[in-house]
Amino acid sequence: MSVSKNTAVYPEFKASIRLWLTPWKAYLDPYSKYQFVRSLNQPAAEILDIGCGVDSVRKLKALAPLAQFDGIDIEEYQMSEAGKRAMRTYSIVPKEDFFRHIEEGPTYDGMVLSHVIEHLEEPNRFLEMLLSKLKSGGKLYVSTPCMKSVNFPALKRGCLNFYDDPTHTAPFDLETWSEQLPLGYRVATQTNQNRGHSLVFLLGWLMMPWVWLTRRKTPFVWYAMGFESVRVVERS
């Protein structure tokens, strides 16, 4: 779910650079949402991106061009016009109506929930609803800060310690949740601390002295610390 920092139009030059980097992100991070949607690149596949700011769908669609994408968020957060056009439907929904809007909507072959669950007051209820919206064989991607992130170094800029982001509610134990899935669902992919490809892990550690010195987040530092917990759940 996008955080209210900058709702201005996303500059096309910046959007284009991030779009160009997308295939590299998929390669260097096998647990990324980009690698996830690549596996769903089928004609007529329908995918919902929940929290679709920063031109998320535009980048996802570059790896799954055959699929149809819907996007939903609580505000417009750094979106280019091309990013909006990449979606079949684009919905900005008040926070209090967010749950109901998805619940009353269609079912999907894939759903992307990347760093959203830690912003919600009732994460278990929300996830239960999302599972019910998967088609047979459909998959749900969930990423969130790992439980250990509450003890990571606190930053002045960016997020490394869970509480660096004031909009976070409480750490979500993705491991325990995925061990208690209802019948008919299984974990297809999992990592409790995503460290990505060995290259980004190494680059992250090379940047750690600068992070400790400046208390600012740098590229790849999440991989050095294993910041993300990820699960892909499939419905039978």
Query: Residues 42, 45, 48, 54: is their CA dihedral positive or negative?
Result: positive
CATH number (3.40.50.1860, 3.30.1330.200, 3.40.640.10, 3.40.50.150) of 12-196+225-235 reads 3.40.50.150
- Alpha-carbon gap, residue 203 to 190, rounded angstroms: 23
- 158, two tokens: 């960016």
pLDDT tens by residue, 166-222: 999 999 999 999 999 999 999 999 999 999 999 999 999 999 999 999 999 999 999
Strand partners of residue 231: 142, 190
pLDDT tens by residue, 19-63: 999 999 999 999 999 999 999 999 989 999 999 999 999 999 999
| 23-30: long-range contacts, CB 8 A cutoff, minimum separation 24 | 23/62, 23/63, 26/63, 27/197, 28/196, 28/197, 28/199, 28/200, 29/194, 29/196, 29/197, 29/200, 29/223, 30/196, 30/197
Question: What would the DSSP string read from start to end of 49-104?
Answer: EES-TTTHHHHHHHH-TTSEEEEEESS--S--HHHHHT-SEEEE--GGGHHHHHHT
Share of the chain above pLDDT 90, in %: 93
- pLDDT for residue 11: 82
- Summarize the confidence of residues 134-155 as an average pLDDT: 98
pTM over 0.85: yes
Selection from 228, 219, 148, 152 nearest residue 191 by Cα: 228
- Alpha-carbon gap, residue 95 to 156, rounded angstroms: 27
